[in-house]
Structure 1
Amino acid sequence: MGKLIHTGVVIVGTGFSGMGMAIQLRKDGRDDFVVLEKAHDFGGTWRDNTYPGCACDIQSHMYSFSFEQKPDWSRSFAPQAEIWEYMRGVAQKWGLRRYTTFGVEVTGARWDAEESRWYVTTAGGDTYVGQYLVAGIGALHLPSIPELPGIEDFEGKTFHSAQWDHDYDLTGKKVAVIGTGASAIQFVPEIAPQVAELTLFQRTPPWVMPKPDHAIAPWAQTMFARVPGAQRGYRNFLYWLNEVRAVGFNGHQGILKYASKLAAWNIRRAVKDPALARKLTPDYVMGCKRVLVSNNYYPTFNRPNVGLDTEGVAEVRANSVVGRDGREHEVDAIIYGTGFHVTDAFDYLDITGVDGRDLAKQWSENGIATHNGINVTGFPNLFFLLGPNTGLGHNSVVFMIESQIRYVADAMKLVKRHNADAIDVRETAQEEFNQEIQRKLADGVWTQGGCQSWYLDAKGVNRTIWPGFTWRYWLRTRQVDPAHFELITRGKVAGKRTPVAAGR
């Protein structure tokens, strides 16, 4: 029988979200928390994704904590290894290792109304009991692998980009790449010179813009390190440079249509074969799907050993992949560049709230709904970081995470000030938030741009993206609005609920 471990806050995950929350608690003078991580090191997606060419598509100086700036980034868009090293360095500086238990996979969580505590179960049998539960699991951790007909008969090697097999030598191999997600855009140009043949199976072409990447000069690194305010000023410049892109995504598609024409010209310029260039050119407005950046993706198709299949996979045989056009491609390996479960990742949650509410079932039947992407009514003291409708297509999600961890910490302080045990968002506040979000999303490029994307759930509703400027989200989450919540004190089975006084 497993152990029962009591603590104040249970944090799940050690990506930017989980680490940020742990650091915020340390800043607040708290040490009654534990961080649970199923892997054996910090880093989240930047620990797991080690495929060739893996790098960030947001500038390094923005894709990092504002309170832990790094003056010596090697490039304007950092590679995976450098981001992971940065995260481990931050964890070490803040002493997070002593609060973190690695190799622990969370299997479920149940709210106990009598105790006002979360019971968090793990695969190893131990149960963590905490007043608060913070889910920093992120959206990009469950690889999405398509069910290809006949894949069980394939005798070659298969793996997903997020589970890259570095022991498998691709040199001289014939490779099929399934999908054109953000990872495929990065690893295809890296492995193309190494393999004998590469066939890319494309369902829908992405918009790929030139990547303004460059090495950061030593003099600039020295300036960021030694000149007060220099790096913060540069970071602010990057923030607003990125932020202005939200204008096109939110109701001003004329800007994006113009950008699409420029991008289409970039394809025609890079790809020598006109017919191939047409196949690589999307027929939807830029931004409807995630906009990608690369300088070497399109030129890769000029290589004689690289082919593009836009008909789709009909079946997989022992040593080949057959396209729907009847062509059989002999392959040694199949690599999936098909991204992750995003909106449907919540189907795997096993979280039970007030009166036995099943969160996965509730969201599956009624649609994913939260307040500020953080709280869910009927699930007291549960906080999501980078949760539904807080993802971005134009700026750094680390900015969003920092807004959220401050908000969560403020909610905990509110509970303490009122000598309460828990806080739960009002259903009316949650409904108002979701109505506002969906109203704005209806005018955005994600809905009006003429595509289907992983931003949308099975019913075609956008449950992923934050519509509009991130500074508006910062304003919204700068402080918990007491009118949106009820406080819970123990005493009854469901707890005694009281509105929060306007004076906090």
Structure 2
Amino acid sequence: MSSSTIEPTVETTAVRPDYEVIIVGAGFGGIAAAIELREAGIHDFVMLEKHDGIGGTWYINTYPGIAVDIPAVFYSLSKMPFTSSSRFFPPGHEIQQYIERVVDAYGLRKKIRLNTTIESARWDERNYLWRGTLASGEEITARYVIGALGLLEVAKLPDIPGIDTFAGHKVHTARWDHDYDYTGKRIAIIGTGATALQLIPEMAKVASHLTVFQRTPIWLAPKPDFRIDWGLDRVLSGVKPVRAAVRGAIASGIDMGLIGALLSLRRMPKAMPYVTRAGGAMYKLWLRDEELAEKLTPTYAPGCKRPSMSNEYFKTFKQKDRVSLITDAIEEITEKGVRTADGVEHEIDVLVCATGFRVCERGFAPAFHVYGETGEELGDYWHEHRYHAYQGVSVPQWPNLFMVGCGPNSIIPSSILVTIENTAAHARRAIVETRRRGATKVDVNRQAYDDWAKFCTDRTEGSMWVSTPCAGSNTYYVNYQGELAIRPTTGLNQWWGNRHFPVRHYTFSTRPALINARTREPELATT
């Protein structure tokens, strides 16, 4: 064949992605994002869920005693009431049932791909789209990516010598083994955080002996819990004015507390030693046991970590014939049990790791590799340039990427669902505005990003969370770089900021027309 008959090269990259939007995660964050897209008239999306069921945190955490620490009327999406709670603070399985109902009510189930793990995503600057690589090796493309990965999902095992040598039954609270019979066993629990305070009383009921290894004690208050399935649940969830009033009252109460805390950020460290001593005195009155109070009283200030509530936790340790509280440091895990620094080997049958999750840690923020416009990985960028995102959602040079409920400086000390709905609304507005302009790329301005980062840093500088009163608290309010990870504003500010941010804080662009060498006609990389 002569060269004169060779077809000319087609110089076009008018690539049409598989989906307009990929949502990573099918927990509350992914569901809220999907609802926002549907309500905006965007239906070309898929939800990728690595587990074999939906619900995220509430799907994988099924340990005995699990419950939410926010009232059901507030721990629910504003668009759909929680209509079947049996208690004011509902147990975990009822939260999971609520999630299932929300998914069905909005017709989202057909949009979800289970057992699908995304390992990396890379921005394709030539075509203005994201290319995701799945664990199966499959490539999947989308114009936009919404990361809704959650925070309490990636289990954190203790870094203790010999952890793999234990010959008994070992389990993490986020991967509970319901097939194993714990009855009559010698059970050890490592950890005394928010998860452990729910689990410990339940394990004490079935163990022949329970040993709790405490590194950091926790501040807690009585839990005002009670049954509401006698009709109050229907009033709180079914009567809209009542539901709105109760939700508003809770939100306002939290905001008023936050306002006081924010206004006192630089004065709080000076007052906290007195508050800590007062808390210790209250523990002594509550426990009526000098030795136990000394072990269970934190040295850090109240408020350093998320507030916890329990009516059973302290009572459990009063059963001294069946429950042991060990505060000596763990030296190693042996084949038979746990050896502490005092040389004692505590022989056990079951080792339970209530050691929490990888929150705001290097390598897990985000939990998969995300390569932006310059080819840099997002986790590496945050490691080098500090952990920030505009309104907790966007990062410059990672265009068309939005984080819902899991971004830096996005969370307020309230119901996580407030943050999730607010940041999902942010993603919706940015995507809708991009489509309205006929653009295919949206990227937050560097100046807006830097200004927001400075606001967060300046607002929290000198606060108790990053100073002496919180030393030793091991709080996830502070990221691994030593900066406050939460959003230093009220919930109302978060609501407004994510729904009414200036559109000028983003840059919108459309892929320039490329000429088809065969037809000489322009083609655009549009959806």
What TM-score do the two structures reach when normalised by structure 2? 0.88
Q: Which amino acid is 1:457 matched to? A: N
Secondary structure of the 2:365 match is helix
2:240 & 2:337 partners in 1: Cα distance? 59
Would the aligned equivalents of 2:412 and 2:490 in 1 still touch at CA under 8 Å?
no
| Cα shift at 1:457 | 2.8
| Cα shift at 1:260 | 4.7
Please list every run of 5 or more consecutive structure 1 residues that lacks an aligned counterpart in the other structure: 494-504
Would the aligned equivalents of 1:71 and 1:231 in 2 still touch at CA under 8 Å?
no
What residue is the counterpart of 2:482 in the other structure? Answer: 460
Secondary structure of the 1:19 match is helix
What residue is the counterpart of 2:412 in the other structure? Answer: 392
Would the aligned equivalents of 2:73 and 2:236 in 1 still touch at CA under 8 Å?
no
What residue is the counterpart of 1:361 in the other structure? Answer: 380
Would the aligned equivalents of 2:275 and 2:301 in 1 still touch at CA under 8 Å?
no
Q: Which amino acid is 1:230 matched to? A: V
Would the aligned equivalents of 1:287 and 1:445 in 2 still touch at CA under 8 Å?
no
2:76 & 2:164 partners in 1: Cα distance? 42
Q: Which amino acid is 2:445 matched to? A: R
Would the aligned equivalents of 2:81 and 2:237 in 1 still touch at CA under 8 Å?
no
Tell me, yes or no, if structure 1 residue 432 matches structure 2 residue 448.
no
What residue is the counterpart of 2:461 in the other structure? Answer: 442
What residue is the counterpart of 2:11 in the other structure? Answer: none
Would the aligned equivalents of 1:249 and 1:445 in 2 still touch at CA under 8 Å?
no
What residue is the counterpart of 1:301 in the other structure? Answer: 317
Would the aligned equivalents of 1:271 and 1:301 in 2 still touch at CA under 8 Å?
no
Q: Which amino acid is 1:98 matched to? A: K
Larger mean CA deviation between 40-49 and 233-242 belongs to 233-242
1:261 & 1:213 partners in 2: Cα distance? 27
List aligned pairs for 1:209-228, cutoff 5 A. Answer: 209-216=221-228, 218-224=230-236, 227-228=239-240
Tell me, yes or no, if structure 1 residue 342 matches structure 2 residue 359.
yes
Match of 2:123 among 99, 108, 111: 111
RMSD: 2.0
Encode CA deviations 1:287-327: one digit per residue, 9 max, x unaligned. 11222111111111101211111121011111021111222
2:22 & 2:177 partners in 1: Cα distance? 32
Please list every run of 5 or more consecutive structure 2 residues that lacks an aligned counterpart in the other structure: 1-15, 515-527
Larger mean CA deviation between 202-211 and 48-57 belongs to 202-211
Tell me, yes or no, if structure 1 residue 316 matches structure 2 residue 333.
yes
Would the aligned equivalents of 1:342 and 1:455 in 2 still touch at CA under 8 Å?
no
What residue is the counterpart of 2:395 in the other structure? Answer: 376
% identical aligned pairs: 34
Task: Please say which structure displays the higher CA radius of gyration.
Answer: 2
Encode CA deviations 1:131-180: one digit per residue, 9 max, x unaligned. 10000001111111112112222111111111111112111111221111
Secondary structure of the 1:35 match is strand
Larger mean CA deviation between 368-377 and 439-448 belongs to 439-448
Q: Which amino acid is 1:113 matched to? A: E
Match of 2:302 among 258, 279, 286: 286
Q: Which amino acid is 1:197 matched to? A: H
| Cα shift at 1:273 | 2.8
Match of 2:493 among 457, 466, 472: 472
Encode CA deviations 1:248-283: one digit per residue, 9 max, x unaligned. 543263887676556434422343431121111011
Match of 1:8 among 6, 20, 24: 20
What number of residue pairs does the alignment pair up?
488
| Cα shift at 1:458 | 2.9
Secondary structure of the 2:205 match is coil
| Cα shift at 1:236 | 1.2
1:412 & 1:5 partners in 2: Cα distance? 16
2:139 & 2:175 partners in 1: Cα distance? 29
1:477 & 1:152 partners in 2: Cα distance? 45
| Cα shift at 1:429 | 1.2
Encode CA deviations 1:305-354: one digit per residue, 9 max, x unaligned. 11111121011111021111222211111111111001112164311110
Distance 1:58 1:224, change over 3 A: closer
Secondary structure of the 1:9 match is strand
2:366 & 2:329 partners in 1: Cα distance? 27
Tell me, yes or no, if structure 1 residue 102 matches structure 2 residue 95.
no
Larger mean CA deviation between 324-333 and 347-356 belongs to 347-356
1:222 & 1:103 partners in 2: Cα distance? 36
What residue is the counterpart of 2:189 in the other structure? Answer: 177
What residue is the counterpart of 1:421 in the other structure? Answer: 440
2:459 & 2:55 partners in 1: Cα distance? 33
1:333 & 1:226 partners in 2: Cα distance? 44
